[in-house]
Structure 1
């Protein structure tokens, strides 16, 4: 069958005069119907049968020439209707007839995409699987009667959430922009930070039903090829119905599922992800979420804030304060329980008398006191998060004050226990990484149980087990506790302490083995 583009007007093909839709079953089975057919009616019938006559599926018939029939297929709401009207339909309807009259144009589909349509990004496909993937992603497809190829126009709806201030990782000084739910906006935010030809973006579709766009981003020449290959391998092994948030990817590719400590870092700040890429890490971006994953990760990274690098160097005093807050949040209730229950001799006598007077009339032991207060505060914290923002914060603060005061007056707990639990709760808010705070909140109850059972001996054993577990973890092949264990002298400049930037001349050695130099020493002239 000759393409209609070179058929003269006197020649007519009776096959194109069908007026009734052609049933798919009259031709071939669904398994055989993989490639786009030349007969337009047959393709449209198959599309309608697969998409189920959905109300938001728009199939727009166009006939710019008596001998030419075509349809534009898109999904209302996913595609930009105005963009389709201006750059697709209007362009086709206003074209010159020379594209049909000149017989030497044998590939009309290429002419349609390259010369007629004014849309910025054009693609082609020959398989229905590619066509479905395109229109379900917000693009539009143009099918022409007599041709076995379709034109894919990138017409995704441009309406999306604007770039706003990050809500979970705020800073006093630094960029006030955060990622959005659009993956292309997120990659552009990173490229604005790193204007290098070595930045690479590799795209994948994951999820049998959701077909979610998942991209990995890295800097070629800085990121290790072994880490990049491991990320590719783990993503390729994912076979799941759908990916709705980057947490799905995080759980499916993490190194240790049973560990309470996160082995993948996430952030909604483009500057944090850009800094990670410059250290040799790999970013994983998921369409539909503002949280970007970063691998590999080490334990000291969860105590680092973007603002550490934007203020004048304080040699790590603020960062050291976060480590102190970590131990307060983890061990304050357990140490108080252990000392008050088993080791009263460690408490000064005047303080011991005060604590004993407070316990008069309190029916519960110290462990039950701490358990009541901790569970109550966790409930208030969750209530403050889940309730509407206008009242959530007020409920959490006022609720804690009222319940704490009422519990003391009712004789359920002592004032000292309220102070300990309050310090513990405030310390958990110091961590820049929220997922680390969740791990600490869970481990706190384990240490409280050990303290109530074995005293300080139980707390010490628990700490040993936790440290051994941390040292056994790896994140994409990198030791989790590096550069502390294994110890690396040069990387100590930016782990527990933070030295001035001019002293940070190399990238982390275990993460990057190919391009270690971050900055060069400027040699001053003898006159200076």
Structure 2
């Protein structure tokens, strides 16, 4: 017994059975949990003629006090109308029969199971003289209500977003896809945090090889804690040193449901409202959920505008530097005279101008994000206007450069996915350096390197630039432009290799072993 008491949490985790003595069990639980004051332990006796001493244990704030009081304690209260002698014959079985209204009742025979269920919000019932206990489902931690999406707002479309509660998020997806083929496989990752992970996919549509690859990568993760879904993203993604994201994420249930219907796999992490999607394609980061809620012609026009604006966000400062520094002959004479008349008193070359303005804008944008929500946007806008105007009047920056940087900043907000926006923000600076050193030759070389790098990327075995490279003609229906809904009858061929025709009844495949 002394060996058990001297064990810590990690050492007691490998199959340490419960003790026969209730007092010893409670002593070890208190010591392992550091005598924390949020651990509520209530001792009581049940039975009228042969008393049975028990302990009810739960964590304040994680368990639902109402369920504990109205269900568990009420069930344990003595009832003169019942035969107490019969109750004492099999106390555990009797309590199970009367605690079924809780929802879920499980056996507890070792300390690792006890700690896991207790820290998940369940209530533990331990018995004196028995090496077996009961875990009653009483989860009741406070969670955030379902609200509007913050980072993926739309004019037309559903107004609900994921929360930090895993079961709420899975329920939101099941409300969209009411199919028995929507399967969930669970994992617990993190030696200390014990974070619940749910892998969702549609059986018969998702590629079994990709599903198995996702599960294998999750099983290989060894880390002490998972606090946000990016921890998982960073450990399962392909090309870990690439600046481009190869795992898509969204906080909208309708987006995740649409991706699942295309054969992708969703990874939900308890404690974060952002759900991961794999495999991820480059075009996925440039498409908005609202594209599918408008007329196809209007959505196609908006997509083309978005692609054009994103291209400007990447190369506009570099193009200006290259032309004004090395290729002035490309500009019409009146425009060239206007630009150089504004730059007459500017002491810096175009590259230094652009670098100063870009760094200043990135600082202002980051400051606007970190400031309180009520004053952040106002400070960033006012700061940009004041600094830009003051820099022009002081003769440090030309007015044309302010226009170029402002246009670049506006176009950078066209990205539906924030992850790809960050990649473009960083790549803008190497392209500016290449343009300042080699002109358009350096700019084109930089763009070609980026394109070649994109074509070399894969996301769980699927080419990142699909359907452009490799070129898939059927995939062009939902790439740069969007075809009408009745023309989108097939799923992406490289992602879903089973049941590729939408709406076709698919037979039940051999079921996977769900762990």
TM-score range, shorter chain: over 0.9
The CA deviation at 1:274 is: 0.4
Deviations 1:482-526 (A, max 9, x none): 0111111111100111000000000000000011011469xxxxx
Separation in 2 of the partners of 1:474 and 1:240?
25
Taking the aligned partners of 1:180 and 1:467, their CA distance within structure 2 comes to 36
* Residue 93 (structure 1) shift: 1.3
Q: Is the 8 A contact 1:95 1:116 kept in 2?
A: no
| Alpha-carbon distance, 1:82 to partner | 1.9
SS of the aligned residue for 2:57 comes to strand
Give runs of aligned pairs for residues 99-110 of structure 1, distance below 5 A. Answer: 100-102=84-86, 107-110=90-93
Corresponding residue for residue 466 of structure 2: 482
Does structure 1 retain, via aligned residues, the 8 Å contact 2:22–2:126? yes
Report which stretch shifted further, 179-188 or 54-63.
54-63
Q: For residue 267 of structure 1, what is the aligned residue in structure 2?
A: 250
Aligned residues: 497
> Which structure 2 segments of 5+ residues have no match?
506-515
The change in CA–CA distance for 1:490 and 1:308 in structure 2 (over 3 A counts) is: same
The answer on whether the counterparts of 1:255 and 1:474 sit within 8 Å (CA) in structure 2 is: yes
Change (3 A) 1:117 1:431: same
| More divergent stretch after superposition (166-175 vs 49-58) | 49-58
**Corresponding residue for residue 25 of structure 1:** 2
2:471 aligns to what SS in structure 1?
A: coil
Residues 118-129 of structure 1 aligned to structure 2 (within 5 Å): 118-129=101-112
Which one of the candidate residues 38, 53, 71 is aligned to 1:56?
Answer: 38
- State the match for 2:221 in structure 1: 238
Q: 1:36 aligns with which of 3, 6, 18?
A: 18
Spell out the pairing of 1:372-391 with structure 2 (5 A cutoff): 372-391=356-375
Instruction: Tell me how far 1:232 sits from its aligned partner.
Output: 0.3
Mapped partners of 2:445, 2:141: distance in 1: 57
> Which position in structure 2 is the counterpart of 1:404?
388
Q: Does the residue aligned with 2:304 lie in a helix, a strand or coil?
A: helix
Match of 2:119 among 136, 141, 147: 136
Q: Give 2:317's match in structure 1, choosing from 329, 333, 338.
A: 333
Local SS of the residue matching 1:316: helix
- Residue aligning to 1:179: 162
CA distance in 1, matches of 2:381, 2:153: 20
Moved >4 Å (runs of 4+): 26-29, 94-100
Quick check: 107-116 or 302-311, which moved more? 107-116
CA deviation after TM superposition for structure 1 residue 321, in Å = 1.2
SS at match of 2:106: strand
In structure 1, what is the equivalent of residue 435 of structure 2? 451
Aligned residue among 186, 209, 212 for 2:192? 209
**Structure 1 contact 99–111 (Cα < 8 Å) conserved:** no
8 Å CA contact 1:35–1:148 kept in 2: the answer is: yes
Instruction: Give the C-alpha shift of residue 102 in structure 1.
Output: 2.6
Task: Determine if the alignment matches structure 1 residue 188 to structure 2 residue 188.
Answer: no
Match of 2:330 among 324, 346, 354: 346
What is the Cα deviation at residue 95 of structure 1? 5.0
For 1:152 and 1:517, the matched residues in 2 are separated by 46
List per-residue Cα deviations over 1:9-67 (Å, max 9, x = no partner).
Answer: xxxxxxxxxxxxxxx41777635780112221111111112111111111111212351
Q: Which moves more between the two structures, 317-326 or 433-442?
A: 317-326
CA separation of 1:448/1:209 partners in 2, compared to 1, >3 Å: closer, same or farther?
Answer: same
Q: CA deviation at 1:96?
A: 6.3
Structure 1: runs of 5+ lacking an equivalent: 1-23, 522-528
Query: 2: distance between equivalents of 1:254 and 1:116?
Result: 44
CA distance, structure 1, for counterparts of residue 183 and residue 423 of structure 2: 33
1:413-435 CA distances to partner (integer Å, 9 max, x unpaired)?
Answer: 10000000001000010010011
TM-score by length of 1: 0.91
Bigger shift: residues 146-155 or 296-305: 146-155
Contact 1:361 1:411 (C-alpha < 8 Å) held by counterparts: yes
Structure (1 or 2) with the larger CA radius of gyration: 1
Partner of residue 154 from structure 1, selected from 137, 151, 161: 137
Contact 1:91–1:117 (Cα < 8 Å) also in 2: no
SS at match of 2:374: helix
Q: How does 1:417-436 map to 2 (within 5 A)?
A: 417-436=401-420
- Counterpart for residue 290 of structure 2: 307
Is the 1:88–1:118 Cα contact (8 Å) retained in structure 2?
Answer: no
What is the RMSD computed on CA atoms of the aligned residues? 1.7
